[in-house]
Chain A
Amino acid sequence: MKNPIEHLNKVFESRVRLGIMSALMVNEEVNFNELKELIQVTDGNLASHLKGLEESAYIKVHKGFIGRKTNTTYSITKAGEKAFKLHIEALEQMIKFTK
C-alpha cells in the first residue's frame, strides 16, 4: 500500500507557511502588511518564512513603491500552487487513511 505521508511537504510544516500559501492561493497578490495581519505574526518571523518559501521557488516577490513607502507584494508560482495542492491532498488522504 502507498504511504500517503510521502506527499506531505516538509516545506509547509509551519503554521505561518500554511497561512501564507493559503492566502496566496486565493489572491493574485498579497502585500507584507496584509499577510502580517492575517497570520498575526511578527515582522521577523513572517519575513524568514517568506524567504524560505521564496527559496523553494513556491512564491514570487515584487518590490514596488506606493509614494515613497516600499510595498512588497507576494504571489504564488505555478510550482507553489502544485506543491500546495499535493500537500492538501496528502492531508486529506491521511485523514481517510487513519479512519
Chain B
Amino acid sequence: MDAQTQHLDTLKDIKKMMERSSRFISLSGLSGIAAGCCALVGAWFAYGIIHGSGGKDAYNSLMVSDVALPIHVGTTLKDYMGNALFRIAFFTFISAFVLAFIFTYIRSKKNHTPIWTSTSKRLLINVCVPLIAGGFYLLKLVENGAYGLIAPGCLIFYGLALINGSKYTLGEIKYLGYGQVLLGVINLLFIGQGLYFWALGFGVLHIVYGAIMWWKYEKVR
C-alpha cells in the first residue's frame, strides 16, 4: 500500500469514527417502507369510514373539515378515544412504530452497533420535542373542531421533527422532513383534502425515502 492510499484510509477512518460517534446510523430504510405501508393501510380504512358515515348527510363536513366525526364540538377528549378514526390513527401509529423499530433493531444487530446509546437518545429527544409539542397543539385543534387543520398540522410538525433530528442520524432524513413540511403547507391551501395529503406524506414519501435509503446503504452488493 502506498503512502497516498494509506493517508486516504486514515481520513476515511476519521470521518467514519466521527459519524459513528455522533449519529445514530442504524436507522433502516426498511423501517421507512414499513411505516409507509402502515400509513397507507390506515388511510384506506379511514377513507372507508369517512365516506361511509359522511356522504350526503347533515354533516357534509368534507366542505368545512376533513372528517365526518360523529361527535360535536365541545365534547371531551374521552369521547374521541372511542371514535373509530382515532382508533385507526392509534393502531396505525403503534404498528408503524413497532415495525420500524424491528427493522432498525435487526440492522443494528447486523452492524454490531448497540441500539441504546447516547446517539440514539439524542436522536429520540430531538425528534420527540417538536412531535409532542405538535401533538398537544393538534389535540387542542380537535377540541375546537378544526378538523381540517389536523392533517396539515401532522405533516408540518412531523417534518420539523425530522429536520431537527437529522443532525443525529443519517442526514438524508432531512429531505424527508422538507417533503413533509412542504406537503403540509400545500395542504393548507386545500383544506378538506387532508386525507390524501396525509396518505401522500406518511405513506408514499416514507416508502420512497425508505427505498432510496435501503438502496443506498443496505442493499447486498
Residues of chain A touching chain B, judged by Cβ–Cβ distance below 8 Å, are 15, 18-19, 21-23, 25-27, 30, 34, 37-39, 88, 91-92, 94-95, 98-99
Taking the closest CB of chain A, its distance from the CB of B67, in whole angstroms, is 45
From B10, B11, B14, B17, A38 is in contact (CB under 8 Å) with B17
- Quick one: given A26-B22, A27-B22, A37-B114, are A94 and B7 in contact (CB under 8 Å)? yes
- What's the minimum C-beta distance from A20 to chain B, rounded to whole angstroms? 9
**What's the Cα separation between A34 and B119 when bound, in Å?**
10
Q: Do residues B20 and A38 form an inter-chain contact, with CB atoms below 8 A?
A: yes
Chain B positions within 8 Å of A99 at CB level = 4
Q: What would be 26 A-B contacts, judged by CB atoms less than 8 Å apart? A: A18-B14, A22-B13, A22-B14, A22-B18, A23-B17, A23-B18, A23-B20, A23-B22, A25-B18, A26-B18, A26-B21, A27-B22, A27-B118, A30-B118, A34-B21, A37-B113, A37-B117, A38-B20, A39-B17, A91-B11, A92-B11, A94-B4, A95-B4, A95-B11, A98-B2, A98-B4
From DSSP, what is the main secondary structure of chain A's interface residues? helix
Is the pair B21, A15 in contact by a Cβ cutoff of 8 Å? no
Distance A98 CA – B8 CA, assembled complex (angstroms): 11
| Apart from A22-B13, A27-B21, 6 more pairs, CB < 8 Å | A18-B10, A22-B21, A23-B21, A37-B117, A38-B20, A39-B17
- Known A-B contacts A22-B21, A23-B21; the reply to A34 vs B118 at CB < 8 A is yes
Residues on B with C-beta less than 8 A from A25 are: 18
Complex: A25 Cα to B15 Cα, angstroms? 11
Q: A52 → chain B, closest Cβ, in Å?
A: 18
B42 to chain A, nearest CB (A): 37
Q: What are the residues of chain A within 8 A of B14 when measuring CB–CB? A: 18, 21-22, 88
Using C-beta atoms within 8 Å of the partner chain, give the interface range for chain B. Answer: 10 to 19
Chain A minimum-CB-distance residue to B19: A26
B220 within 8 A of A: no
Question: What residues of chain A lie closer than 8 Å to B18, measured between beta carbons?
Answer: 22-23, 25-26
Residues of B within 8 Å of A21, CB to CB, are 14
Chain B residues near A37: list those with CB within 8 A: 113-114, 117
The 5 closest A-B pairs by CB, nearest first: A22-B17, A23-B21, A26-B22, A98-B4, A26-B18
State the CA gap A21–B21 with chains docked (Å): 11
Name the distance in Å between B221's Cβ and chain A's nearest Cβ: 24
Q: Smallest CB–CB gap between B14 and chain A, Å?
A: 5
- Give, as a whole number of angstroms, the nearest-CB distance from A75 to chain B: 13
Residues of B within 8 A of A88 (CB): 11, 14
The answer to whether B73 has its CB under 8 Å from any CB of chain A is: no
Report the Cα distance A21→B14, complex, angstroms. Answer: 9
B117 to chain A, nearest CB (A): 7
A94 touching B117 by the CB < 8 A rule?
A: no
Q: Are A91 and B7 in contact (CB under 8 A)?
A: yes
Q: A30-B21, A94-B4, A98-B4 are in contact. Are A15 and B13 (CB under 8 A)?
A: yes
